[in-house]
């Protein structure tokens, strides 16, 4: 990490360094996506993967709830859901109390896909961390909960 430049407060300089580093790491991890059955290039899009992960994490959701959660327009989410459903990663079921609605939930194949993605990304990141000196590994271990706290603010 570089020290703050002369006349520049430490927090903004650190914020800039973290933003750049986290964005670069995030891009690298996104490139490690796994193939999905029936995909032309073998991968789910970032939006498709995020939607599948949100459904798994939060439980069954209506398409509207999922669109709101993922900050996309409902018609876009309808296409994402159709794509995931075509690949057997999610299923639709009648809403338990509103006959006009459906709820989307992950299938076993969807859960397996997410688990495999996570294992692959964690293995790659674990290997990079293992290559660091122990002192730097300790810094990352101590920084992880702080970064999580910032991400939840």
For all residues of the chain together, what is the average pLDDT? 88
| Pairwise CA distance, residues 62 & 93, whole Å | 10
Cβ burial 8-31 (10 Å sphere, 16+ → b, else e) = eeeeeeeeeeeeeeeeeeeeeeee
Domains, the chain: 33-152 (1.10.10.10)
Average pLDDT on 32-51 reads 70
Q: Is the pLDDT of residue 8 over 70?
A: no
Could you report the per-residue pLDDT of 105-152, keeping only the tens digit for each? 999 999 999 999 899 999 999 999 999 999 999 999 999 999 999 988
Residue 33 burial (CB count, 10 A): 20
- Collapsing DSSP to helix, strand or coil, 100 comes out as coil
Could you report the per-residue pLDDT of 60-84, keeping only the tens digit for each? 999 999 999 999 999 999 999 999 9
| Pairwise CA distance, residues 123 & 129, whole Å | 10
pTM of this structure: 0.75
Q: Is the pLDDT of residue 36 over 50?
A: no
Cβ within 8 Å of residue 103, ≥6 positions away: 60, 61, 62, 92, 93, 94, 95, 96
The reported pLDDT for the residue numbered 23 is: 93
Confidence band for 39, pLDDT divided at 50, 70 and 90: very low
């Amino acid at each position: 990490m570089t020290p703050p430049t002369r006349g520049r407060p430490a927090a903004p300089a650190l914020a800039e360094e973290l933003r750049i580093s986290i964005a670069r790491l995030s891009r690298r991890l996104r490139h490690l996506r796994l193939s999905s059955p029936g995909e032309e290039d073998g991968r789910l899009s970032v939006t498709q993967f995020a939607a599948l992960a949100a459904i798994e994490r939060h439980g069954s959701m209506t398409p509207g709830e999922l669109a709101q959660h993922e900050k996309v327009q409902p018609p876009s989410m309808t296409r994402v859901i159709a794509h995931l459903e075509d690949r057997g990663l999610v299923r639709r079921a009648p809403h338990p109390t509103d006959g006009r609605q459906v709820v989307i939930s992950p299938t076993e194949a969807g859960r397996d896909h997410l688990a495999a993605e996570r294992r692959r990304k964690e293995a790659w990141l674990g290997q990079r961390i293992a290559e660091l000196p122990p002192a730097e590994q300790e810094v990352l271990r101590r920084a992880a909960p702080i970064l999580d706290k910032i991400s939840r603010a």
